[in-house]
Structure 1
């Protein structure tokens, strides 16, 4: 029986209803109680912080200079330019106001800016036109409230203004393409202790940097620091790059010499130096002052110390060139320092001490008696020729024994990242801790290097087996020590491959590496715990295709980096790296590195080195005389004192 449905009463709708939020989908409309007029209060945590206004002031850069110097230079080893100081003064005056000094607001802001600059890998010199500094100030401006930095989600003590790439907690091998840092890099880890499981394999900290991956740095003579060039490497560069190469080589050697203590100006006054010179003592400032070649004009007969590159002129004469000019060398009576064991070849930058002799009839290549960049008339009589003094690694980068306590300058380039793996000041202490944690100090950790691995010679594979067997640990050892890396350098073929030589084609070349793989397969545990690095030679593919085994100026590279899964060690596969020649092997960031170069450097230097004349024996008296028996006996005793074989006494007869 059907029941009748009661008609529904229409609901009362207020006069001013709120429209439905979704009328198209029939969302019912609910009236709002008109008695609820109080606004909805937000929870205390969601309340926006009240914005405190600050009255901006005009802060002169000179007034802020002492505080900026104490924060940036004394505390963070950074140098401010005038433009950067002006930008900081404008920022502090605008956002800190009159309380920048009394309330200490400016010091905290400058401290945060300095930390952010180092965090994003800024250079040691802070410039006002730098985009990084502008980004830091722009980001910091949104976090300022009442002249103070608000510690929020965008700003924390651990990661302050992370403008660079995200830094992972896992110590993975850094990618050089994404690293544009000078001081900090992807090798940097957080201040907290790392997980023990991530630091059990030292190979995580072994890096091989090829010729095409190493960052390009140039030395800025004005600012006295290195700058990074972001241009991609090219096999066909502009011809001006060759001139710039030698110019940069001269700048790098020159700035290193000027830091040597024997080339620095004395601390006593000029009058005192002149007095010492008149009394007969040799003034250090006179001996070790480098004279530009262009300054030799008009100073004939004077003694000078020159720094330049040995070159061979168009006429075949040996010359010395620097950034100011070129002069012909006369090394007939020059002595090399040291006498034995050093090569002096064209292309080397050397120190030459001697005297200048001006030729009145000669003219320079630029006209007149000389000119900047031209050939100076006359010649330079060399007395001694030597190489520039070397510099210890601790003096350049700093280290565990950082610097001499008496030295005020500190490391020259402590914040410079030369390889794209982090600088000494940024990651040095951390890398030393990780290295001491992973490496056993009581046992030796080796890097094995084998060169001229001719795979087409049967005896080479037998010798390689003996080498691998030597570095394979005893299976009964509870804590075996494997080599960190095994570097196998070419030539991998005794004949030039891909050069049309019979029996040295691409098929035979691949078969040789198949034989190498069969040898490595017998040492699976060793290969699984170490890194194999292959460096090609002149006979390998592909340089031999156009050089026929001759030395090529292009860095040969066999292939890209691959992984060779010959075995596993706790989840870690064996690894093979195919790199270029030359390349660099680096371990634990800045803790250690070595240059890998396969070339006949000794033979090349022997062919092109300068041969100095042997000194003539000193003759006291050229007149013939008849030595007595007593004089012959004294000469024999002197020879015995020098451990030289003494000749038997002879008697000479003279006829008058």
Structure 2
């Protein structure tokens, strides 16, 4: 008799004809058996690490850099052996590639200093054994698990009992709460290697910036988990403009001008200033699709200016498109902003339907298409700008234009922490490290044409000006020096004679020779280089035309000489036996990019682009109003905002007074008007490139890096076609250094340098010129 092995009989489930006790909440009819629990309810598997035998000599360079150079500690051979055994056991073969050993050694060194151990770390000491024993229970997958006693604020706590609460599923990481990657703790300022403000400077490239997607349903930002690509799906092009519209729309709805009437005293005063309740009702945004069947009525639309296939101007939102007639419309303000296709604007006017739209089918289309008829505009204005404090909050004076608190205080937009999570701690550290008697400046220069001899002369003038007197007791060096392209006056690698790859590399070798003469300066500051349209590699196939943004940094193939010069200066200045300090470094980053200091406390957005010329070429021309036209328009949020004392622009234009009032608008020169219009347009649009993709190409999956929401602390619009200026508007300092060589390579003023200095403590920028 043969016996066959049968599969195990499935568990019998008793028949139960009764339905679920709560169908609305999805309660199952039968209980879930533990063996058949779905994967989401099963315990997560712990990552395992294969131990390795790590020789102490292999770990010695990393241990020396962490213990000796950072913390001024000396390791004995027994201590090095103990650390090598611990790292090999818990970190495995990935101890070097993933940086696991460096984090472990950093934690051990700080724990040793916290226990007030001696300068010499001995392996036979009970303190080191206790630290390793405690750390042994906190290791998981080669990393220190969050929530351990050694981690720095890795848990999101609200009270004293928060550590005893289990973590919620799906929230094991605190990045959604905006916890900083700077790993700040209460005694962080006591660490010797964090006493220099340059330690808190961080450059965030466009390809490193996290992508935040606005959730229309839940009214907050979600971090996109999809990996961006240079060859995305065509649907991402549509999503690009949808996100831009959502950002502007939610910003407008939180503005007090567009709030529903209430019985509060503040709102009543606003209605009294407006003249009537009808003025407040006029600031209700109407979707384009809702215009059908409402001919002759007045509405306020929010949409993007577009050009239809037949060449007429149209206005589009998420519901549809309508032809726009602005023959008698007035821009608000009349001479202080640009209006061009691709911008999201507010248009007030009257809808006039044609005979084909009387049936409600929209003439040439229905909802989601082109609406029949046309919209006759009375006034066109930019969306009101929102201050950074209204978006994130902070210790600065709250924005008086809104009755609400910060909208997204817990959101981490750049991956450096959120205002509500780390803002107060960063402010304390900044107040201790930023001396009120010392200038903590960031030097910004643009159009560093290395193939023009006069530009190199101007660069020497700039470097000589920034080098302090060597006999000074406390020399002050700039925190960072930002140099922007184009690094050649003509497109490189594009077949132009004298602009090949060999010549392009020789230009940077010439730059290295100039920097080598200022070793003290480059050893005490951070050099940041941002490319332009004429730089490699995009110029090789676009010949200096508008390259898609964002664009990557200059390839290391051409910049190795500059890196070696900075490294040599660090060895000469910070060599053995000399005072310790923050070494100089050179960073080649993307265009655009961000420079942050002290986490979310300060942010500088930087872009090299010809914005002024593109705005002048694509802007819409409005007809001049009649002299007897009444100036009191029913809709003028931008005009009301300009009259507000909080939003008056502070100017620093070399050819104009330092502070020009709003009443002197007609008396200002052309350079000042250009600076005002460029600043108001870009900040109101909250985007660095508010143009159609045909005018300025963008990488669809990286277009979020050009958003100016929340508003940065400062903005650098490097444009050689615009005059140099420094303008402060809505709390944001907007700067344009123009060309470094003020002479343009010719004339009597050869070698005269021009740049902008920005103080991160006071938020004040100044245009400098030396020759």
Class of the TM-score when normalised by the shorter of the 2 chains: 0.5 to 0.7
Is the contact made by 1:491 and 1:540 (CA closer than 8 Å) also made in structure 2?
Answer: yes
Instruction: Name the CA distance, whole Å, in 1 between partners of 2:322 and 2:481.
Output: 48
SS in 1 for 2:528: strand
- Equivalent position to 1:469, from 445, 464, 480: 464
1:156-305 superposed matches below 5 A: 162=146, 180-268=175-263, 281-305=276-300
1:209 to partner: Cα distance: 1.0
- Equivalent position to 1:583, from 593, 597, 615: 593
Change (3 A) 1:487 1:404: closer
Is the contact made by 1:309 and 1:321 (CA closer than 8 Å) also made in structure 2?
Answer: yes
Instruction: Name the CA distance, whole Å, in 1 between partners of 2:605 and 2:378.
Output: 34
Per-residue CA deviation, residues 381-423 of structure 1 (Å, 9 max, x unaligned), is 1010000001111110011137469977421000000000100
> Gapped runs of 5+ residues in structure 2?
1-23, 28-37, 45-134, 139-143, 154-172, 575-579, 631-663, 667-771
1:75-86 superposed matches below 5 A: none
Matched, 1:399 2:400: no
Give the stretch that moved more between structures: 413-422 or 559-568. Answer: 559-568
SS in 2 for 1:577: strand
1:487 to partner: Cα distance: 0.6
Is the contact made by 1:354 and 1:381 (CA closer than 8 Å) also made in structure 2?
Answer: yes
1:339-354 superposed matches below 5 A: 339-354=334-349
Is the contact made by 1:181 and 1:422 (CA closer than 8 Å) also made in structure 2?
Answer: no
Give the match for residue 451 of structure 1. Answer: 446
1:433 to partner: Cα distance: 1.3
Give the match for residue 619 of structure 2. Answer: 609
Matched, 1:559 2:543: no
1:190 to partner: Cα distance: 1.9
Give the match for residue 432 of structure 2. Answer: 437
SS in 2 for 1:584: strand
Instruction: Name the CA distance, whole Å, in 2 between partners of 1:350 and 1:598.
Output: 25
1:182 to partner: Cα distance: 4.2
Change (3 A) 1:405 1:133: farther
Is the contact made by 1:318 and 1:328 (CA closer than 8 Å) also made in structure 2?
Answer: yes
Give the match for residue 316 of structure 2. Answer: 321
Is the contact made by 2:197 and 2:433 (CA closer than 8 Å) also made in structure 1?
Answer: yes
1:432 to partner: Cα distance: 1.0
Give the stretch that moved more between structures: 210-219 or 226-235. Answer: 226-235
Give the match for residue 606 of structure 2. Answer: 596
Instruction: Name the CA distance, whole Å, in 2 between partners of 1:165 and 1:186.
Output: 18
SS in 1 for 2:612: helix
Instruction: Name the CA distance, whole Å, in 1 between partners of 2:209 and 2:330.
Output: 38
Change (3 A) 1:235 1:619: closer
1:283 to partner: Cα distance: 2.9
Residue-pair matches, total: 469
Give the match for residue 107 of structure 1. Answer: none
Matched, 1:519 2:503: no
Give the match for residue 309 of structure 1. Answer: 304
1:404-415 superposed matches below 5 A: 409-415=404-410
Is the contact made by 1:323 and 1:373 (CA closer than 8 Å) also made in structure 2?
Answer: yes
Give the stretch that moved more between structures: 507-516 or 393-402. Answer: 393-402
Is the contact made by 2:549 and 2:592 (CA closer than 8 Å) also made in structure 1?
Answer: no
SS in 2 for 1:500: coil
- For normalisation by structure 2, the TM-score amounts to 0.56
Matched, 1:421 2:420: no
Instruction: Name the CA distance, whole Å, in 2 between partners of 1:181 and 1:339.
Output: 42
Instruction: Name the CA distance, whole Å, in 2 between partners of 1:134 and 1:431.
Output: 37
Give the match for residue 629 of structure 1. Answer: none
Is the contact made by 1:310 and 1:321 (CA closer than 8 Å) also made in structure 2?
Answer: yes
Higher relative contact order by CA 8 Å / sep ≥ 6: 1 or 2?
Answer: 2
SS in 2 for 1:209: strand
Per-residue CA deviation, residues 531-556 of structure 1 (Å, 9 max, x unaligned), is 00010111111011111110111432
Is the contact made by 2:330 and 2:622 (CA closer than 8 Å) also made in structure 1?
Answer: yes
Per-residue CA deviation, residues 441-469 of structure 1 (Å, 9 max, x unaligned), is 12221111111110000000000011111
Instruction: Name the CA distance, whole Å, in 2 between partners of 1:363 and 1:154.
Output: 75
SS in 1 for 2:518: helix
- For normalisation by structure 1, the TM-score amounts to 0.65
Is the contact made by 1:364 and 1:374 (CA closer than 8 Å) also made in structure 2?
Answer: no
Change (3 A) 1:266 1:479: same
Is the contact made by 1:181 and 1:420 (CA closer than 8 Å) also made in structure 2?
Answer: no
1:203 to partner: Cα distance: 1.4
Is the contact made by 1:487 and 1:532 (CA closer than 8 Å) also made in structure 2?
Answer: yes
1:484 to partner: Cα distance: 1.1
Instruction: Name the CA distance, whole Å, in 2 between partners of 1:164 and 1:133.
Output: 23
Change (3 A) 1:130 1:331: farther
1:590 to partner: Cα distance: 0.6
Change (3 A) 1:132 1:554: farther
Change (3 A) 1:153 1:491: closer
Give the match for residue 757 of structure 2. Answer: none
Instruction: Name the CA distance, whole Å, in 2 between partners of 1:518 and 1:615.
Output: 58
Is the contact made by 1:415 and 1:426 (CA closer than 8 Å) also made in structure 2?
Answer: yes
SS in 1 for 2:323: strand
Instruction: Name the CA distance, whole Å, in 1 between partners of 2:187 and 2:627.
Output: 70
RMSD: 3.9
Change (3 A) 1:315 1:542: same
Instruction: Name the CA distance, whole Å, in 1 between partners of 2:276 and 2:338.
Output: 32
Is the contact made by 1:363 and 1:376 (CA closer than 8 Å) also made in structure 2?
Answer: no
Give the stretch that moved more between structures: 190-199 or 561-570. Answer: 561-570
Per-residue CA deviation, residues 321-370 of structure 1 (Å, 9 max, x unaligned), is 00111000000000000011200011100000011111113599986575
Change (3 A) 1:376 1:598: same
Is the contact made by 2:320 and 2:368 (CA closer than 8 Å) also made in structure 1?
Answer: yes
1:594 to partner: Cα distance: 1.2
Instruction: Name the CA distance, whole Å, in 2 between partners of 1:233 and 1:165.
Output: 36
SS in 1 for 2:247: helix
> Gapped runs of 5+ residues in structure 1?
1-81, 87-128, 136-151, 170-177, 621-641, 645-656
1:167 to partner: Cα distance: 5.2
Give the match for residue 114 of structure 1. Answer: none
Instruction: Name the CA distance, whole Å, in 2 between partners of 1:166 and 1:366.
Output: 66
1:503 to partner: Cα distance: 0.4
Instruction: Name the CA distance, whole Å, in 1 between partners of 2:395 and 2:516.
Output: 41
SS in 2 for 1:504: coil
Say which one has the larger Rg. 1
Give the match for residue 5 of structure 1. Answer: none
Is the contact made by 2:292 and 2:362 (CA closer than 8 Å) also made in structure 1?
Answer: no
